């Protein structure tokens, strides 16, 4: 089964905030894909706090949150990049199992994931 995160980058043009809105699946196996996105976001506007919003994720693993938190802290210590905080939902969600695996011939059901979208708020 395909577990992938999607990232929407929201940048406030008055330099008030940079939000990374994460949807889809954030698991131990794929959370590393978010590291460069977070690192890049923290360089967009110096000294602005980057918020990594995981509250909209359909599938969120506790260990993934911890790994992400550690990576963000490490990055901050290492390169002195701007502050970042993680928003975690009160209850970790897990989407229901997909009833059938996506059929490569019919295309199955795929959610669009991939490159972050840059959107000015």
CB of 92 to Zn ion, least distance (A): 12
Which of 22, 25 has the CB closer to Zn ion?
A: 25
- How far apart CA 39 and CA 84 sit, in angstroms, is 9
Tokens encoding 47: 């000294």
CB of 59 to Zn ion, least distance (A): 3
DSSP for 51-63, please give it: EEE-TT-SEE-HH
CB of 14 to Zn ion, least distance (A): 35
Largest Cα–Cα separation, the chain: 48
CB of 113 to Zn ion, least distance (A): 11
Which of 5, 82 has the CB closer to Zn ion?
A: 5
Which of 25, 45 has the CB closer to Zn ion?
A: 25
Angle subtended at Cα 94 by Cα 8 and Cα 10, rounded to the nearest 5 degrees = 10
Which of 42, 59 has the CB closer to Zn ion?
A: 59
Tokens encoding 99: 């009833």
Enumerate binding residues for Zn ion (CB under 5 A).
Answer: 3, 25, 59
Q: Which of 35, 55, 46, 40 is nearest to 9 (CA)?
A: 40
């Amino acid at each position: 089964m395909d577990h992938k995160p999607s990232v929407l980058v929201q940048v406030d043009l008055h330099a008030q905030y940079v939000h990374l809105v994460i949807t889809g699946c954030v698991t131990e196996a794929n959370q590393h894909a978010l590291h460069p996105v977070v690192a890049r976001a923290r360089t967009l506007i110096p000294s602005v706090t980057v918020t990594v919003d995981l509250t909209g994720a359909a599938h969120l693993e506790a260990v993934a949150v911890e790994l992400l938190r550690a990576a963000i802290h490490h990055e901050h210590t290492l390169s002195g990049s701007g502050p970042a905080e993680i928003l975690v939902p009160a209850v970790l969600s897990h989407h229901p199992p997909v009833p059938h695996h996506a059929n490569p011939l019919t295309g199955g059901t795929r959610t669009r994931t991939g490159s972050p979208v840059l959107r000015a708020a």
